Amino acid sequence: MTNMYPGVYTKALDEMKKIKFIEKISIVTGKYDIVVKVNVKNLEQLDKLTSQLHKIDGVERTNTQVIEKDYQFL
């Protein structure tokens, strides 16, 4: 989950799309502005990815949540 500074979404999203392991980017309402779903194999990859997000102009702050298990109801 990411908080963004106003007016930088388009450029920031373009930069996020270039980062390896990002599967999905969602614009959301509420406490956070963007949810980025990633698929990494280990915490080292997650740490590297998070560092890359922090370097993007406009990213104010990130909050990392690890999904333990997914359920799909279709």
pLDDT digits (tens, 9 = 90+) for 18-42: 999 999 999 999 999 999 999 999 9
Q: Which helix (H) or strand (E) holds 27?
A: strand 22-27
> Residue 70 falls within a domain, yes or no?
no
Q: What CA–CA distance (Å, rounded) separates 37 from 13?
A: 13
Which amino acid type is present at position 34? I
**CATH no. for residue 35?**
3.30.70.920
Which amino acid type is present at position 5? Y
Q: What is the pLDDT of residue 46?
A: 95
Split into its structural domains, the chain has a count of: 1
Q: What is the pLDDT of residue 7?
A: 81
Q: Which ranges constitute the DSSP H helices of the chain?
A: 9-17, 43-54
> Residue 48 falls within a domain, yes or no?
yes
> Residue 26 falls within a domain, yes or no?
yes
Expressed as residue numbers, the domain containing 50 is: 2-62
Q: What is the pLDDT of residue 6?
A: 81
> Residue 53 falls within a domain, yes or no?
yes
Which amino acid type is present at position 22? I
> Residue 9 falls within a domain, yes or no?
yes
> Residue 52 falls within a domain, yes or no?
yes
> Residue 51 falls within a domain, yes or no?
yes
